[in-house]
Chains A and B, each alone.
Chain A
Amino acid sequence: QKEVEQDPGPLSVPEGAIVSLNCTYSNSAFQYFMWYRQYSRKGPELLMYTYSSGNKEDGRFTAQVDKSSKYISLFIRDSQPSDSATYLCAMSRSARQLTFGSGTQLTVLP
């Protein structure tokens, strides 16, 4: 079993929809949580990061971490076609190596 599980999708939504992306994990030592966006054949781009439990908002993006349930989420409000990409969750025990989920492929239809 992988340490980080992420639904691969694909997920297809109409423009303007609220998107919910999720990951679960098994290692309770993880305390840094990140979301990356990756366009096809490009490197991952850091979107959001949080430390320990709680919520963080940045524009149309909200990241949530529930350490008691070992569950993290990324919400995208007012989704745009330019948000179409693969979204990767990542987590770390100690700000060194990241452990990634397998990514969720999102398509926002105009």
Chain B
Amino acid sequence: DTGVSQDPRHKITKRGQNVTFRCDPISEHNRLYWYRQTLGQGPEFLTYFQNEAQLEKSRLLSDRFSAERPKGSFSTLEIQRTEQGDSAMYLCASSLARQGVTSYEQYFGPGTRLTVT
């Protein structure tokens, strides 16, 4: 399977704990995006990377959230001191952008479902 993969698929944690999610994009894709989706809503943009550079962050990304993409390949999203309101599906997507060619097609992974108790 050469699509976007995410790990873990499900995470249950207690309020106040830290959690980290991983995303592996499609191998040739240099852009990577994180979104959050709550029940009955569409995904909401959190942040995106081009290669290892984090180029845009939403105001939804509070200081408890941090994302990294250290080598321009996989990415991690960490949530510190989780709150019940953080319960959601965290989706990762990737796309390809290079000089002269920009793909606006974002391909999503299966998501990590976080439950904070």
By a beta-carbon cutoff of 8 Å, the part of chain A in contact with chain B is: 4, 6, 8, 32, 34, 36, 41-46, 49, 51, 88, 90, 92, 95-103
Contact = CB atoms under 8 A, between A and B. Distances in A.
Contacts of B42: 4, 6, 88, 90, 100-103
Nearest to B33: A97
A49 to B, nearest CB: 6
From B44, B91, B104, B105, residue with most partner A Cβ within 10 Å: B104
A45 B94 CA distance: 12
Interface residues of B, number: 28
Interface string B76-117: 000000000000000100010100001111111111010000
Contacts of A96: 31, 48, 55-56
Contacts of B35: 98
Nearest to B44: A100
Contacts of A102: 40-42
Contact of B45 (A34, A41, A98): A98
